[in-house]
Structure 1
Amino acid sequence: MYRLLVVDDEAYALKSIMETVNWRSLGISEVYGAMDVEEARIIFCDQRIDVVICDIEMPGENGLELLEWLNQEQFSASVIFVTGHDRFEYVQAALRAGCFDYMLKPVRHELLLETVARSLRKLEQDREHNLLKRRMGKFEKVLRHHKQELVERFWNDVLYPAGKTPNNEALLSQLSLMEPDAADSGEFMLVLVSISGWKARFGIKDEEILEYAVMNRAEETVLENWPGAVLKSRNGELFIVVYHAQEQGRSIAELRRRCMGLVEDCGVYFYSRVKCYISLPGALCTLGSRSASLLKLERECAGDMKDVWVEGEQAHQMPEQLFGRKDWPAEIALLLQKGRHAELYQAVDEWFASYDKENPLSKEDLKALYYHLLSSLYQSFNQSGISIGYVIDAINVKREGSAPCTKSLAHLRLWTRQVIEMAIEHAANQKESEPTIVEQIEQYVKSRMSEEVSREEIASLLHFNPAYLSRLFKKETGSSLTDYIVSQRMEYAKKLLSQSDLKVSDVAEITGYSNFSYFSRLFKKQEGYSPIEFRKRYKGEAGI
């Protein structure tokens, strides 16, 4: 069933159109009347109107201004102008603004009925089209979600191949089906993005959000106008894959420059210490061995000051007799995750004890062992969701003036135990105390219900880029920051409407909306009822 609104400042004309035309023959169940534009606006805020029959010249605002308002507020009603003025500029302005038809008074009721019938048919076609568009949008969203899962699974299989080297042509064919941009790509380049620590204290949840921000920034800064992908592997590493690496302009030098930009941006905007490790160009089937090579390079370069490395470059090397033969215990990460700290310290002590049996280590050996330990500690704790960047900085400050941790094996053992103890304590304290970024946003919004609150204001308060803050909030909550602000205000409005006798216009102002009609429309869109209807229903159900 449909609803019709007639707007005319002449009472006789208004009553004639409302009462003498057989509107029910068109399925119109409700007919409303308004004698000016302001009255029409109020009706629009309270009811879903399908068709408007409107005069143009009226005291105060005219019909064209009403149509302009309907367009601005995105109402989907069909507008038919019925007027006694045949001025060309009126006709031109009405058609340009999107009215369905323009009729001159006096108009025969049969012709008016036919025109409204045509407008309803057009309205139904538009609504069916919009419904189909929304359904297609949902379908595309589902497809994108599943496509993302397939793409991530594909890259994990490529980066961590099981068994023999996969066939390059088969891999290319499979990738091209999911990523058309990768079709006929001869060579690929791989970048390992390593977050080695944070410059400020963050909870585990916030670190996950910031890691997501780093991935977004990598897509914008490193890939930019290049086809490729940014992904998180099943082991937690962040990788960038550059397609068509053989194309002109996609050189190692240019990729290094872009990675330097990513490192700088992450330090400024996301308080993170980032290093990038770039592979040489190669076929798709070689990316598994190249990822292993980059991970090895990451271990070797953990303590080096250099931020961007290319496969084949040399860092501090552990002597052959130290590296590999007694590598860092693999169970460290597992013991951390399960909270079995006594066994953890025992495993560390046994590892150091194995070196006590060797000939005394040289200064170079101890320094190499330190870098290896640094990398291993980062990896073990990151796998357990604990960041130790802040802890290592704190310990280094605490040890200022003391003997360096590389002075002897005993000093290195003490340093390692201090790092582990403080990291575990730091992680426990974070879980109990500091609110996450999302919690800080929620607290701020709830404390300023009557004020205009923008994402730019919140971003400035938390020292974040507004666009990134919105993405991070949506990733964590599933809702955009703007939608969250609206939903909280609507909840507050519902509370005021149900528990007080305040005017609806006062409720609108208290919840931060100076424009009553906008508040009313937004409330109805959110709750399914106008504020007035909501109050009536609530008080009716409550027997008030």
Structure 2
Amino acid sequence: MVYQLLVVDDEAFALKSVVDTIDWHSLQITQVLAAMDAEEAKALLAQHAVDVMICDIEMPGENGLDLLGWMRNEGIATETIFLTGHDKFDYAQLALQMGCFDYLLKPIRHERLKETVLRALTKLEDVRQKLSMHNRAERYENLMKSQKHVLVDRFWTDLIEPSGPSYATEPHTAYLSMIQPEFSANDVFISVLISVDRWKRRFGSKDEHILEYAMMNSARETVLRDWPGTVVQCRSGAIFLIIYEAAQLNGQLKELEYRCRRFIADCNHYFYSHVSCYIGLPESIARIAASCATLLDMERRNVNKPDAIFIEGEYYEDQEGMLPFSWPSELAVLFESGKKDELQRRLDELFTAYENQKSLSKEHLKAFYYHFVAMVYQTFHKSGISVDSSLDSLSRHEDMAQATKSLSQLRTWTKRMIEAAIQAVEKRRERDPSVVELIEQYVQTHISQDLTREELAAFLHFNPAYLSRLFKKETGLSLSDYIMDQRMKQAKRLLSESDLKVSDVAEITGYRNFSYFSKLFKRQEGFTPQEFRKRNKR
């Protein structure tokens, strides 16, 4: 920290002595100003932020006390040290009353004057630090007041869904005393979970966040209305409405249900969504997190009752009675063969059965989702299609969370994915040759070489046995029969259209042993190669 010093004295010699002969730099004083009367001092004080002033009291015109009075009226907080050659108690008393730092008699040793200035600077620094701390505390207090609703919401989200270690036995006392919310830690509270069952339209995540924000404002107006409370959204996306002073709402549960019903209707009409409300029991602040966890568990179990209101303790399915999930294997066959209509009909039957299954839970929905995703991945990879480039949403966690939120949501998502997936497979099949076509092309270009099932399988990256079964299923011929058939066709063309020796024809069509070629040709065509040429030579 650096400082500025002002010395005021009408005696030029005394002024120069104080200004020039004392080592003020050792006190971090970087500028020493000099004035010979009050008017000159006033001008310097108006231009410079002077920290300490050394001033003679007796001066022509305005004296030092007059100058100090002017400084106080102007709000100049410079620490003032008075010097005087007269030991007048009245002067000293008045100077101290006016707030001067010290009153020294001339002549004064420079060491003492320097020590006094150091004490004045120390006091000044202490005052400034205290003022800075006060201003900082006042600024933080004003900030906390302006952001109180944010701090209160943060308190509830941390209480409901802690980001780190959970609160201790007395979690809230210190924090609540700091933010001073509109409720007491001793109050009773009711929590209401607001859950979007499904959106009526397809929205991007940004639009969904905007609609959820609008829904939270609507909940404040429709559900809370004249009741004290707040609406918060946790890190997981769960929206909770917290009602304060719930003990005063005794007997008004029906009113709360009515307000929730109005809110659900508004969400249907204005926010393109089906919404359910899960109402908790009145609890102390220490039990709110457990109550909210119960409401989330109730939401997890509800997969086929949209636009509903559930009360804690009144809605539970027997989880132990859950039916085991079974994935119909024929769905993969229908999907792989591209039979979209038949696949969709089978899925509709499946979802209808799910709607009548009382013990259906979100675990069932997630199991269905993961089986469906596995089916798509398996089929796409068989066809050499990238899932990430064709159906990027299939691998997104948020897509899974939305799809498994309710049975109707899963049904809509599945239908959309079936359309997109089958379209992607059909496009690939239109663009790329099939496995059978690739085999045929390979045989034609390598007919003069030794061709084996293993060689073809290695070329196509297939299991040899699987490739044989696939080829026979598609063509009705085994691979060996097809290769021999293509070689015989090539041999007959060369015998009838060229003058090549029969032995050369045999080698071109992949037969190194001429005798074996002749016997095989006769067995297949009923004539030897030579007899066939005589009959068909063009």
Q: Would you say same fold, with TM above 0.5?
A: no
TM bucket by the smaller chain?
Answer: 0.3 to 0.5
Bigger relative CO (Cα 8 Å, ≥ 6 apart): 1
TM-score (norm 2): 0.37
